[in-house]
Amino acid sequence: MDLIQLVYASQPFGFDEASLRGNLMDARRCNARDGVTGTLLCRSDVYLQMLEGPERVVAGTYARIVKDDRHMDPVLLRRAPASERLFANWAMRHDPASTVIWSPEEVAAGRRAALAPDDLRDVFARLAAGAADDA
């Protein structure tokens, strides 16, 4: 099995707590079915998500996200092979983006693509270390 990690950023459309809960329930159901794990950092102006799993399945999940009208302007930031999953126990972990790395002003200015792919992986590795306590 070829395991990959994919990171993208998008802007949420119609963000509120009820829609976020619905999105997370849908993602967890589909990801558990498909063998995808990951985490979603979110706030009203940005989604930053890591998906991990078999390459074909993750690519299909991301293709659905790109077409999903709940995501505006999705940008693929990182796609790389992985030797292990960072969020193996999470069909979709939710982080309320208190840890997100960009200010609202930086997101508005298009800063989402400014981090190097390895730096993005490090952000998620730190989140995964904290997530082990939540599992």
Give 10-52 pLDDT, tens digit per residue: 888 877 778 778 888 888 899 999 999 998 887 777 888 899 9
Q: How many domains does the chain have?
A: 1
Work out the pLDDT band at 131, boundaries 50, 70, 90. Answer: low
Q: What's the predicted TM-score (pTM) here?
A: 0.81
- Please give the Cα distance from 115 to 109 (Å, whole number): 14
Contacts of 74 (CB under 8 A, 6+ apart): 8, 9, 10, 65, 66
pLDDT at residue 40, rounded to an integer: 84
pLDDT per residue as tens digits for the range 51-63:
999 999 999 999 9
Answer yes or no: are the C-beta atoms of 54 and 3 closer than 8 Å: yes
Range of 12's domain? Answer: 3-131
113 versus 77: which is more confidently predicted? 77
* Residue 106: its H or E element: helix 104-108
- Could you tell me the CATH number of the domain that includes residue 113? 3.30.70.100
Confirm if 13 and 70 have CB atoms less than 8 A apart.
yes
- Return the pLDDT at 94: 67
Using one digit for the tens of pLDDT, what is the confidence trace for 98-129?
555 666 677 666 666 566 777 778 878 888 88
CA 15 to CA 22: how far, in whole Å? 11
Of the ranges 38-42, 47-51, 64-68, 75-79, which one carries the lowest mean pLDDT score?
38-42
